[in-house]
Amino acid sequence: MALGLIHRGVRVTVYERANTLPEIGAGMAFTAVAQDCMRRLSPRIIAAFERVGSPNEHPQNRYWDGFHPESKEQAQAPESLLFQMSTYDMGYWTCLRAAFLEELNGELPEGVLKFGKCLESYTDDETKTKVVLRFGDGSEAQADAVIGCDGLRSRTRQLMLGESNPASYPRYSHKVAYRAVVPITAAIAALGEDRGRNQCLQMGPKAHIMTYPLANFTLTNLAVFVTDPKPWPDPKRLTAPATRQEVVDAFADWSPPAREMIDLLPESLTKWALYDMYEDPATEYCRGRVCLAGDAAHASSPHHGAGAGMGVEDCLAIVTALETARTNLQGAKRFHPSLKFAAIKVAFEVYNAVCYERSQWQVRSARETGDIYQWAYSGSGSDPLRCKAEIEARTKKIWDFSVEEMVRQVHSQCKPPLRTEDRMRKRMIRLIDLQEVQEVLEVPVLCWRGCLGLSVSRDPPLSQLGAFELLLVDN
């Protein structure tokens, strides 16, 4: 987001709660759509991604039976391949999350990123020219607009939608993830050369295992997902310490290669509770000059591998809307702070209108996709043909998407703020001084606002203006 705005000459400050960049040792996949958005946001972003990312070697993404095969040979045999989908269409490239973040950080100009700034509250008073942000360290900052990219448990969301609103909080999806990055040689030893060097999803009852290569085929991302019917013990924390043994127990009946992959997990590890906004979606992504983007707006479970990708789509829509708003403002005859307020508000509303449905669908579909992988979705069970039909239709919706059309919609919906009152006839009058204002309005100037069905751009007070443009509205 920040690099996209900077690329368009917008001054940005990123306030980050943590004191350093997070070191999550895990892989990340981005579709061709997300990469298209990165390219349009800024050439620096896509260049950073291409330095650390790589495509699948195999032309198909493949989904295997991880449960029934009784030997390694059986597991690699064609009968164990449940279904496959074209890698070219999906266009997934994978990378190490920490490596990509570091590359992006390296592209930010000095001083843009401020660590140790935990947002506690904000005030968006429309009579004031700026939004005021307050942080945990007691400091304050001001901005024309605020984009809350503060993740799954977004404070911005709580402040925007209300602290007692259920939509302000994500819920436990009753699945946990165990993640590790292991040497690719070990993955190849367990899965075989072909499956070890490519994306490999092993499906089975109540669990699934996703592996793919990273870091120029030296490492493998290992993500293990298990259904957990119990409540998550501590909703304040999204992770809990775990042991390899509990994962070994969950996969005791699975095929030898699946169990061998589980054996590669470290002895003590972290268990991630997968929370999402499936039950209580945010009703909107913006209010006034504040908006939500990424997981703050639509946190989802990770089963489409598209949560961050949707966030990148948000970034492009927001950046495009703000850029269009700025162009519209530059076209306005006379600049006034209230016009800037209106333009930012419209830009965020347009982002909301264009991105809401798709990102909400992704939240719902990702939750269901987790169940499909674990043979628990009523529409497909463990039937490979039905599973394929479900996954194909859903995945197609993610990759078969026109970024160009999204950008066009944002442009076309961002109307200049003065043209919003289409129903009304408008007449511009040039007023020379206070006396003339009073003569035209036939009321004392202090009462001018709201009189005679008049809509006026105000601040500073009329009395201080030598010349002023009024928008006269006849109903």
Ligand X SMILES: Cc1cc2nc3c(=O)[nH]c(=O)nc-3n(C[C@H](O)[C@H](O)[C@H](O)COP(=O)(O)OP(=O)(O)OC[C@H]3O[C@@H](n4cnc5c(N)ncnc54)[C@H](O)[C@@H]3O)c2cc1C
Pick from 330, 62, 105: nearest CA to 202: 62
Name the minimum Å distance from CB 280 to ligand X.
Answer: 18
Three-state DSSP class for residue 333: coil
Residue 329, phi then psi, degrees to nearest 5: -65, -40
Is residue 65 close enough to count as binding ligand X by CB under 6 A? Answer: no
Name the minimum Å distance from CB 193 to ligand X.
Answer: 24
The string of DSSP codes covering 255-273 is -HHHHHHHHTS-SEEEEEE
Instruction: Tell me which residue has tokens 């449940």.
Output: 82
Query: Contact with ligand X (CB under 6 A): which of 91, 257, 307, 417?
Result: 307
Is residue 15 close enough to count as binding ligand X by CB under 6 A? Answer: yes
Query: Contact with ligand X (CB under 6 A): which of 46, 308, 332, 473?
Result: 308
| Closer Cβ to ligand X, 152 or 441, answer by number | 152
Enumerate residues 6+ apart whose C-beta is below 8 A from 193.
none
Q: How far apart are CA 358 and CA 376, in angstroms?
A: 24
Is residue 223 close enough to count as binding ligand X by CB under 6 A? Answer: yes
Is residue 294 close enough to count as binding ligand X by CB under 6 A? Answer: yes
Query: Contact with ligand X (CB under 6 A): which of 12, 108, 118, 472?
Result: 118
Helix axes 32-41, 403-413, angle to 10 degrees: 50
| Closer Cβ to ligand X, 40 or 326, answer by number | 40
Is residue 53 close enough to count as binding ligand X by CB under 6 A? Answer: no
- Verify whether residue 179 is a known catalytic residue: yes
Name the minimum Å distance from CB 181 to ligand X.
Answer: 12
Residue 336, phi then psi, degrees to nearest 5: -145, 140
From the candidates 40, 62, 155, 179, give the one annotated as an active-site residue.
Answer: 179
Draw the binding track, 344-363, toward ligand X (x: CB under 6 A; -: no contact): --------------------
| Closer Cβ to ligand X, 26 or 184, answer by number | 26
CA distances for 15 relative to 111, 119, 141, angstroms: 11, 8, 10
**Options 69-77, 82-90, 308-316, 454-462: segment touching ligand X (CB under 6 A):** 308-316
The string of DSSP codes covering 350-401 is HHHHHHHHHHHHHHHHHHHHHHHHTT--TTTTT-HHHHHHHHHHHHHHHHS-
Inter-residue contact 301 to 227 (CB < 8 Å): no
Query: Contact with ligand X (CB under 6 A): which of 45, 149, 214, 247?
Result: 149
Q: Which helix (H) or strand (E) holds 64?
A: strand 60-65
Site size toward ligand X (CB under 6 A) is: 30
Q: Report, in angstroms and rounded to the nearest whole number, the Rg of the chain calculated over CA atoms.
A: 26
Is residue 69 close enough to count as binding ligand X by CB under 6 A? Answer: no
Name the minimum Å distance from CB 142 to ligand X.
Answer: 16
Is residue 306 close enough to count as binding ligand X by CB under 6 A? Answer: yes
Query: Contact with ligand X (CB under 6 A): which of 18, 77, 429, 432?
Result: 18
Q: Which tokens go with 121?
A: 């509250």
Is residue 401 close enough to count as binding ligand X by CB under 6 A? Answer: no
List interacting residues with ligand X (CB under 6 A).
15-18, 22, 28-30, 117-119, 149-152, 155, 177, 179, 223, 272, 294-296, 302, 305-309, 311
Give the residue numbers annotated as catalytic, written as ranges: 179
